[in-house]
């Protein structure tokens, strides 16, 4: 099983390299902008046009895989540090755990590197260290190492965290973008856009009298349930973080050379998220999540997968939101509630910086 998975990964790497070579954009920018960190087109250009060729890899994925070990790193610069439903410490754990889970790896251990601003209130540090410890315990990962740097006042905004996770590829998992096939069903694990909306409300950017909590959580239980229910019929997973579900669908449609048709009416969205999205003038499908996954499953097992997902705590509102088509390759289309169709493109710019 391990060597089969390894062959599979080699295939995946070859596939990704081919795709990337065919379409690699050039990084021609003269200055870094917030958009380079937003998860949309500018981020893609930075990764595919600069980082990937420099490091000799097809793309800087959410998790790299060596033998059966998956490794992933993320930095967290969320503002404010604490928000309804979570804080930077929980994001640092769950974000890392989820990148492993999306690679089909059971999270094992993590490290935590902190950049602190001189003068930071030590109680804020205590709170976030505690948040990391609680989230790690909840996710079943051990914190095995770390690093602390302090920069002068004004050279950081309170605190930034970088976390790295390692995990071991689950033998049931055969996940890769190129496994996605026309006919595959697209599932989401719960209502979308709650993390981004919670951050917006916490910043008081709107005159909106509503409360919503971030969705930040470990997605390994959901992945475990999906693998148990449908095994290798689960074709690909992504957590819909920066850039939201729309960005995930675009990335995978492009990587797999397929089209995705999403049914707007089937996408679970809470009323608060819908209202905030309307105020901001953006589609909830572009709003960031920190505890929601998108799964591509073979059509004959989609019902079973959805049932398994709904049995996981926090995923009761999981839904089937669309399907994969052969044409037009690389495109994402939305079937609107009114029966029309529109293209759902990649995000350009950053409507909401420092979301995670």
Cβ nearer to a second copy, comparing 119 with 329? 119
Give the interface segment with a second copy, choosing from 1-9, 17-25, 129-137, 224-232 (CB under 8 A). Answer: 129-137
Torsion of CA 211, 213, 214, 219, to 10 degrees: -150
Applying the rule CB under 8 A, the residues between 258 and 317 that interact with a second copy are none
Residue nearer to a second copy on the CB measure, 82 or 354? 354
Sequence length of the chain is 356
Give the integer Cα–Cα distance in Å for 155 and 303.
Answer: 51
Of the candidates 15, 19, 87, 162, which one interacts with a second copy according to CB under 8 A?
A: 162
State in angstroms the smallest separation of the CB of 101 from a second copy: 15
Which of residues 88, 91, 120, 198 is near a second copy by CB under 8 A?
120
Residues numbered 4 to 63 that lie near a second copy (CB under 8 A) are 27, 29-38, 43, 46-47, 50-51, 54-57, 60-63
Between CA 282 and CA 126 the distance in angstroms is 36
115 binds a second copy (CB under 8 A): yes
Exactly one of 19, 72, 94, 301 binds a second copy (CB under 8 A); that residue is 72
Binding a second copy (rule: CB under 8 A), the pick from 80, 82, 109, 206 is: 109
Is 230 among the residues that bind a second copy (CB under 8 A)?
no
Please enumerate in sequence order all residues whose Cβ is within 8 A of that of 135, keeping only pairs 6 or more positions apart, or say none.
89, 90, 92, 93, 94, 218
Nearer to a second copy, 60 or 275 (CB): 60
For the beta carbon of residue 5, count every other beta carbon within 10 angstroms: 20
Closest of 110, 90, 91 to residue 100, by C-alpha? 110
Binding status of residue 143 toward a second copy by CB under 8 A: yes
64: DSSP letter: E
Compute the least distance from the CB of residue 242 to a second copy, in Å: 9
Smallest distance from a second copy to CB 226, Å:
23
Q: How many residues bind a second copy (CB under 8 A)?
A: 80
For residue 129, the minimal CB distance to a second copy (Å) is 5
Give min distance, CB of 194 to a second copy, in A: 21
Among the candidate windows 160-168, 170-178, 208-216, 255-263, which touches a second copy by CB under 8 A? 160-168
Binding mask 321-340 for a second copy (x = CB under 8 A): --------------------
Candidate residues 105, 132, 252, 331; the one interacting with a second copy per rule CB under 8 A: 132
Residues 6 or more apart in contact with residue 254 via CB below 8 angstroms: 19, 23, 330
Give the one residue of 25, 80, 84, 146 binding a second copy; rule: CB under 8 A: 146
Bond preceding residue 11 cis, omega within 30 of 0 = no
Task: Give phi and psi for 55, each to the nearest 5.
Answer: -95, 5
| Cis, peptide link before residue 331, omega less than 30° from 0 | no
Q: What is the DSSP string of 271-320?
A: HHHHHHHHHHT--GGGS--SS-EEEEE-GGGHHHHHHHHHTSTT-TT-EE
End-to-end CA distance of the chain: 36
């Amino acid at each position: 099983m391990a060597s089969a998975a390894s062959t599979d990964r080699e295939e995946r790497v070859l596939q990704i390299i081919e795709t990337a070579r065919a379409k690699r954009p050039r990084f021609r920018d003269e200055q870094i902008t917030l958009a380079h960190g937003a998860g949309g087109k500018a981020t893609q250009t930075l990764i595919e046009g600069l980082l990937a060729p420099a490091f000799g890899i097809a793309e800087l994925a959410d998790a790299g895989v060596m033998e059966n070990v998956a490794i992933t790193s993320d930095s967290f610069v969320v503002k404010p540090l604490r928000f309804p439903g979570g804080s930077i410490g929980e994001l640092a754990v769950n974000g890392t755990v989820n990148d492993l889970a999306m690679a089909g790896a059971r999270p094992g251990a993590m490290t935590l590197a902190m950049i602190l601003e001189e003068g930071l209130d030590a109680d804020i540090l205590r709170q976030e260290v505690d948040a990391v410890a609680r989230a790690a315990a909840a996710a079943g990962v051990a914190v095995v190492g770390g690093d602390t740097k302090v920069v002068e006042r004004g050279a950081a905004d309170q605190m930034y965290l970088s976390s790295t996770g390692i995990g071991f590829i689950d033998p049931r998992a055969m996940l890769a973008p190129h496994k996605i096939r026309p006919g595959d069903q697209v599932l989401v694990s719960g209502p979308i856009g709650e993390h981004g909306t919670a951050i917006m409300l916490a910043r008081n950017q709107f005159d909106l009298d509503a409360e919503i909590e971030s969705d930040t959580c470990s997605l390994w239980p959901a992945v475990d349930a999906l693998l148990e229910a449908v095994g290798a019929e689960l074709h690909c997973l992504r957590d819909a973080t920066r850039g939201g579900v729309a960005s995930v669908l675009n990335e995978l449609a492009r990587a797999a050379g397929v089209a995705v048709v999403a049914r707007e009416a089937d996408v679970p969205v809470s009323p608060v998220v819908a209202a905030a999205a309307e105020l901001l003038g953006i589609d909830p499908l572009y709003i960031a999540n920190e505890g929601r996954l998108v799964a591509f499953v073979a059509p004959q097992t989609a019902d079973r997968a959805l049932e398994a997902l709904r049995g996981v705590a926090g995923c009761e509102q999981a839904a089937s939101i669309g399907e994969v088509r052969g044409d037009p390759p690389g495109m994402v289309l939305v079937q609107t509630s009114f029966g029309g169709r529109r293209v759902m493109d990649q995000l350009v710019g950053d409507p909401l910086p420092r979301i995670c």
